[in-house]
Amino acid sequence: VAFSPDAKRIVSATLDNTLTIWDVDTGNELLTLTGHFDRIHDIAFSPDGRQIATASEDQTVKLWNGTPAELQAPPQGGNAP
């Protein structure tokens, strides 16, 4: 389990080989990330808070985007349905 440098998010790994990013203030899940095929045994948040590195028993290291994507507002003046 690791905190983002701004202490607003934590990331944890679960037994089903997924990562979850949580909002510290609300306790809500922000993102669930899949991709590893075996247990994740190590997690690190990057010092700039932008990425997460994981190491897994599947013998791969992965980098993940640690910042949930901004919701994209519809273009102003458009006819968004």
Sites of contact with a second copy (CB under 8 A): 1-7, 10, 12-15, 20, 22, 24, 27, 42-48, 50-51, 53-55, 59, 61, 63
- Would you give the distance in Å from CA 73 to the centre of its chain? 22
Of 4 and 31, nearer to a second copy (C-beta) is 4
Q: Tell me how far, at minimum, the Cβ of 7 lies from a second copy, in Å.
A: 4
Of 16 and 68, nearer to a second copy (C-beta) is 16
Residue in 69, 57, 51, 56 with CA at minimum distance from that of residue 11: 51
Q: Specify the length of the chain in residues.
A: 81
Q: Tell me how far, at minimum, the Cβ of 72 lies from a second copy, in Å.
A: 23
- Would you give the distance in Å from CA 17 to the centre of its chain? 13
Of 58 and 80, nearer to a second copy (C-beta) is 58
Q: In the chain, how long is the greatest CA-to-CA distance?
A: 50
